[in-house]
Amino acid sequence: MQQGPYPMYQPAYQPPHKPAVDYVKTVVSDLMLSIAVVVSLLFVMIGSWLIGLMDTEGGVNAGQVVKSLGMFILTVALLLGAIVRTDMEKWVRTAMIVSAAFLIAVVGFWFTNLNFM
Long-range contacts (CB closer than 8 Å, 24 or more residues apart) made by 79-87: 80/28, 80/33, 81/28, 81/33, 84/21, 84/24, 84/25, 84/28, 85/25, 85/28, 85/33, 86/21, 87/25
pLDDT tens series, the chain, 117 aa: 555 566 666 667 777 888 777 777 777 888 999 999 999 999 989 988 887 787 777 778 888 888 889 999 999 999 999 998 888 899 999 999 999 999 888 877 665 554 544
